[in-house]
Amino acid sequence: MGNAVAAEKGYLREAGNLVFHVALIVILVAFAVGQLFKSEGGKLIVEGDGFSNTLTQYDDFKSGSQFGTDDLEPFSFTLNSFTGTYEKNGPQRGTPRTFEADVTYSQGDGKDKKAVIRVNQPLLVGDSKVYLIAHGYAPVVTVKDGRGKTVYHGAVPMLPIDNNITSTGAIKVMDGYRDKNGKKEQLGFQAFFVPTFAGAGKGTMFSQFPALDFPVMALTGFHGDLRVNSGLPQNVYQLDKSKMKQFTDKSGNKLAQRMLPGETMTLPDGAGSITFEKDVKEWASFQISQQPGNGLALTGAIAAIAGLTGSLFIQRRRVWVRAVRGEDGVTVVEMAGLGRSESAKLPEELGDLAVALTLQAPPAAEETAEDPAPSGEADK
């Protein structure tokens, strides 16, 4: 049989395969942890207002089955200002260029810190991330009753309906006025707002640019019962007009007015007035998320990629070398190789091994037999 030796390379291929499958399990576990313990909520904030990370502060909130309100990260922040810039010229006119929310936030220690939240650049507070997801305008209005007493004053967020931030909204005044019979009436206004007015003389209005260049607001007034105490949920951007009547002027025409900042619409029958103040604030909508499994999932994903790379590109191969002495006393060295996977390196490595063996143990020189003397010389 002779003497033989064997060697194998590429064991890391199997290690990579093992790492890949273990990493898949880690990713599944991370996904399960994230779904069970996650939380996600949204909040619309007008410039100057703030948010505290408690359940009652959210506009909408959802969480995993194992998440508790005590797991909410203790922090708060205030929206100091929002800045939005847009392309002014060319075919991309109106395209957003900059969305930035300047905030002041504090964590458990209570120290105020400054930060700027941008699209895809969230604020990281502990295990929570605060994302900037939307923005719009909030005109400031003042509503007074027939005696001149202010019954409502504040910024009213408007809901954008197109890329130029043409917006709609509703103003709901619970403490309205008393009619001639002494009955208390609530006030409601359906609002239509455009940051850059267009459509004059065309019987309609729309925004031709998303920046606040020429703000105009159209208001339609109603009185009656807003049904906010009916126990049914309401859309904050719409009025429930089922028990409300629209104001009419002396000629019986429905009362509606297009207003510039600083203008006032007077309501009939001593119902008071509403003023579009010379101030339009901006609002920003934020998403606050806690995803406890993200770090584990990222680790599993990196390990899976590394393991898959190893299992695909590391080539496993085996080489045998056998030395056999023949009947004539000459030792014959035999070599063979086997690729456990498709390996282009195997023939090359076998060749290199043969060269190395030849240098270490060169073959014996073959004896050359003497040529017989020419027949002519033999006859002499």
Mean of the pLDDT values across residues 108-122?
A: 89
Instruction: Give the pairing type, strands 184-194 and 216-224.
Output: antiparallel
Residue 340: predicted pLDDT = 67
Least confident range from 229-243, 282-296, 336-350: namely: 336-350
Least confident range from 20-34, 86-100, 146-160, 344-358: namely: 344-358
**DSSP code of 211?**
S
Positive/negative CA dihedral, 245, 248, 251, 253: negative
Interior angle at CA 189, CA 188 and CA 191, nearest 5 = 155
Least confident range from 80-89, 273-282, 323-332: namely: 323-332
Q: Which tokens belong to 354?
A: 């043969």
Identify the three-state secondary structure at position 364. Answer: coil
> How far apart, in whole angstroms, are the C-alpha atoms of residue 89 and residue 76?
39
Residue 189: predicted pLDDT = 95
* Whether the predicted pLDDT of 376 surpasses 50: no
CB atoms within 10 A of CB 87: 13
Contact 185, 224 (CB under 8 A): yes
Closest to 272 measured CA to CA, from 175, 191, 193: 175
Task: Read off the pLDDT band of 274 (50, 70, 90).
Answer: very high
- Name residue 188's amino acid: G
> How far apart, in whole angstroms, are the C-alpha atoms of residue 280 and residue 138?
6
* Whether the predicted pLDDT of 285 surpasses 80: yes
Contact 276, 266 (CB under 8 A): no
Least confident range from 55-64, 252-261, 263-272, 349-358: namely: 349-358
Least confident range from 33-42, 230-239, 249-258, 362-371: namely: 362-371
Q: Which positions ≥6 away from 157 have C-beta within 8 Å?
A: 44, 46, 136, 137, 138, 169, 236, 283
Mean of the pLDDT values across residues 179-190?
A: 84
Mean of the pLDDT values across residues 208-235?
A: 90
DSSP codes of every residue in 314-342: PPPEEEEEEEEE-TTS-EEEEEEEEESS-
Task: Read off the pLDDT band of 379 (50, 70, 90).
Answer: very low
> How far apart, in whole angstroms, are the C-alpha atoms of residue 107 and residue 114?
12
- Name residue 363's amino acid: P
> How far apart, in whole angstroms, are the C-alpha atoms of residue 143 and residue 173?
8
Mean of the pLDDT values across residues 252-279?
A: 92
Residue 368: predicted pLDDT = 46
- Strand residue runs (E) in 10-49: 39-46
* Whether the predicted pLDDT of 348 surpasses 60: yes
361 phi, psi to nearest 5 deg? -135, 80
Residue 2: predicted pLDDT = 64
Q: Which positions ≥6 away from 187 have C-beta within 8 Å?
A: 143, 151, 152, 171, 172, 173, 176, 177, 221, 222, 223, 267, 271, 272
* Whether the predicted pLDDT of 378 surpasses 50: no
Using a pLDDT cut of 90, give the percent of the chain over it: 51
The verdict on pTM exceeding 0.85 is no
| 45 exposure class (CB count in 10 Å sphere: 0-12, 13-18, 19+) | buried
Residue 130: predicted pLDDT = 96
End-to-end Cα distance, the chain: 55
Mean of the pLDDT values across residues 47-59?
A: 94
> How far apart, in whole angstroms, are the C-alpha atoms of residue 231 and residue 235?
13
Q: Is 10 left (phi over 0), alpha (psi -120 to 50) or beta?
A: left
Residue 374: predicted pLDDT = 52
Task: Read off the pLDDT band of 342 (50, 70, 90).
Answer: low
* Whether the predicted pLDDT of 19 surpasses 50: yes
Q: Which positions ≥6 away from 173 have C-beta within 8 Å?
A: 143, 151, 152, 186, 187, 188, 189
Mean of the pLDDT values across residues 321-335?
A: 81
> How far apart, in whole angstroms, are the C-alpha atoms of residue 224 and residue 372?
136
> How far apart, in whole angstroms, are the C-alpha atoms of residue 119 and residue 2?
73
Residue 305: predicted pLDDT = 94
Q: Which positions ≥6 away from 180 have C-beta within 8 Å?
A: 269
Query: 69 or 272: which carries more pLDDT confidence?
Result: 272
Task: Read off the pLDDT band of 82 (50, 70, 90).
Answer: very high
Q: Which residue has the tokens 């899976």?
A: 304
Mean of the pLDDT values across residues 58-64?
A: 92
* Whether the predicted pLDDT of 370 surpasses 70: no
Residue 343: predicted pLDDT = 64
Instruction: Give the pairing type, strands 50-52 and 76-86.
Output: antiparallel
Residue 215: predicted pLDDT = 96
> How far apart, in whole angstroms, are the C-alpha atoms of residue 354 and residue 344?
17
